[in-house]
Chains A and B, each alone.
Chain A
Amino acid sequence: MPRTATEALTVHGRSGVRRRGTARDRLGSIPFLLPAVALVGLMLLVPFVATAYQSLTDDNGFTSSFIGFENYARLFADPMFGQSVLNTLMWTVGTLVLPVGIGLIVAVFTSQMPGGRWVRIAFVLPYALSGTATAVIWGFILRGDGALNQAITFFGGTPAASGWLIEWPMNTIVMILANTWQATGVAVILFLVGLQAIPGETVEAATLDGASGIRLFWHIIVPQLRPVTVVVIGMSIANSLRVFDMIWLLTKGGPGGSSETLAVTMYRETFILSDYGYGAAVAVILSIIVVGVSWAYLRQQFKAK
């Protein structure tokens, strides 16, 4: 006898057949969609279209003239663009693997250990801190005279001659780690929400069948977490490609643009060099990449349903 409504409903699983519905039904969905679509469309999509148009112009903030795809041509010929793309890729891989992986482990393990709630706080706390505080702190830790080098000296090693932020690829790697520190919290919380949805019986039944530890983890828990994993990965992809605050506040994309990602390049071109058209072109390219990758990933997930 199912004990709660949720349990009663999860017995059957999803049938996967969607009714077309009557026209009245379809009309009825309009008021439900309206607030979200109106807000997002007006405040976000319209400016994006404006930016896309701007990428076809030579705009310095005061005057603009139409130049077609010249900005894009210049972009692809720019050696800094290649560096930017490379860094963006590194960030994508890094922020996909680390926060998601660590987040999953932390969520599952802490939900199974006594006092796990308290241990979890350590991981969730960083996300609640402001970008300013995080950048100041990681600056403290990573600079030549910073806490990390102090610790290394304390334990008897020789610290990096210059700071960790000076050379590529070390500066990008180290910033990815700093970002992981903050981003893991989100993954932990989302995985927790997912874990909460796993019905107790499923786990009990599996344990009774003799599954435990890793088997339980891989074959029962992870598949049940699929919908949440989609959210976490989808979000990680989007965020990784748009990382800005951490990089800007720690290195401003330097030295010499070595740690720039596309989002940083876009900001620099637009706000520092006041080449709005060029910056818009970078923004459009970045958007295409983000949307493309997200679509490729989510498409799989939609199909699998």
Chain B
Amino acid sequence: MRSNSRTFRRIGAVGAAVALTVGLAACTQGSSSGGSGDDGKTVTLNGERADFEHGYELAGEALQEITGYQLEARNVPSTENYQQIVRSSLKTNSTTDIIKWWNGYRLQELARTGGLADLSDAWDTAVDEGWVNPDTRDSFSYDGKVYGLPMYKSYWVMFYNKTVFDEVGISPPTTWEEFESNNAKLKEAGVTPLFATQEAGWTSLIWFEELLSKIDPEFYQDLMEGEEKYTDPVVHEAMELWSDMAGKGWFTSPDTAWDNEPSLFASGSVAQVPMGTWRNGLFSQDLDEGDYGTYMLPTVKEGVKPSVVVESGVISVADNAPNAEGAQAIMADWLNPDVQKPWADEIKDTSANPMVETDDPVLMSTLEQVQDAEPMELVRYWEAGPPALVETGVQYLGAFMADPTPENIDPTLQKLQDLADAEWASWEESE
């Protein structure tokens, strides 16, 4: 007993000494991250994509050569926390100069608080140089002014495992009937034809937008703008199709972890994955070039206009940016091919700059297919409506995925419509 207490006291004393030194050390260490760089030559950037770190470095090197300003990137490893941090700090002095955000309505939501700087000049310069497609201006602007520049331009396509396709003896479909017969054959061969999950929350929108846009892309667009209803027969048709496909067992279990998607795809357990081309970086790590490819999902009926869902993250400048000059300089040359090429190559996605070519064979083939089809470009559901509507909407869609029976279609659509009514009203009110 005695020696125990002595040991304990000794441990306690040592522990206290450690804590004291540590505490003292802690007090003397200030923050390593002020809002701004110290020498006026650094421009800070905040984001939630840890996988962009190298990309930021490479882009930063190119930008430094051109503009003389250095890019310092930070990361918050959780999307929700990142959003909260941006909201809390955007209008204060501790905001970073540049923030990564989403386009469409999400950008609008931020822009109308007055927290973002006007980037119309940088945009116009880029258009003049041919660095960006001027038709895409809308999804980066609010009230006529541009508030963000595209970070990348991802297309939503079907990734397919070539090895599996060869084994089963099928090839990428050009019509919906071929798509269905492919899936039937895959199912017979013991492979899960399509990947789908609601586990990550937002992923429940994928099949909704794909099916709806392949039935009627213009309707999809109008629905997103709040000009059509969820209870419309067109949406009903899409949901019936979804329910039918689920009934045939073509999807993975709705609670499959999204983290498992690359492994399932690479190992051939799942044959096809609808995803944005930004996922290519992950797939290319597990699979060799020849083993996988992409194709555009065919329209459900002949004569329907081809469409493709497009997604672009944005970078924006904070109105309160500590180094506003540096930030604007960076923005002026962000879309420069000299910057975009190393950036896009590193993140393995396609640049928003049409002049930048990609070396990745899968991306090249995707771009070719898109160019050939001349599809209507649609904004992803995630960015296409008021954020509050989308966030709850994907929950309802996820609930449908958990129970994709025909009986569940009307209740789900009604819930979605009620939500849309409420949220559109709320959005208009805040204008």
Contact = CB atoms under 8 A, between A and B. Distances in A.
B198 interface: yes
Interface band, chain B: 20 to 34
A61 B257 contact: no
Contact of A166 (B115, B391, B402): B402
Interface string B224-258: 00000000000000000000000000001111110
B253 A163 contact: yes
B87 A274 contact: yes
Interface residues of A, number: 28
B91 A143 contact: no
A167 B402 contact: yes
A273 B84 CA distance: 10
A160 to B, nearest CB: 10
Contacts, number: 82
A277 B415 CA distance: 24
Contacts of A256: 395-396, 398-399, 402
Given A61-B87, A274-B87, A254 B113 contact: no
B181 interface: no
Contacts of B87: 60-62, 274
Contact of B255 (A61, A143, A272, A275): A143
Given A254-B398, A271-B81, A143 B90 contact: no
Interface of A: 4, 60-63, 139, 143-145, 162-163, 165-167, 251-252, 254-258, 267, 270-275
B253 A144 contact: yes
Interface of B: 1, 80-81, 83-84, 87-88, 90-91, 113, 115, 198-199, 201, 252-257, 387-388, 391-392, 395-396, 398-399, 401-402, 430
A254 B84 contact: no
Contact of A63 (B113, B387, B392): B113
The 4 A-B residue pairs with the shortest CB-CB distance, nearest first, are A256-B399, A144-B253, A61-B87, A163-B255
Contacts of B391: 272-273
Which of B255, B256, B391 neighbours the largest number of chain A CB atoms within 10 Å of its CB?
B255
A275 B423 CA distance: 12
Nearest to A143: B255
Given A256-B399, A267-B80, A273-B392, 5 more contacts: A61-B88, A144-B255, A255-B254, A271-B81, A272-B83
Contacts of A255: 198, 254, 395, 398-399, 401-402
A117 B232 CA distance: 65
29 contacts: A61-B84, A139-B257, A143-B199, A143-B255, A143-B256, A144-B252, A144-B253, A162-B253, A162-B255, A163-B253, A163-B254, A252-B199, A254-B198, A254-B201, A254-B395, A254-B398, A255-B254, A255-B402, A256-B395, A256-B396, A256-B402, A258-B399, A267-B80, A271-B81, A272-B80, A273-B387, A273-B391, A274-B87, A275-B388
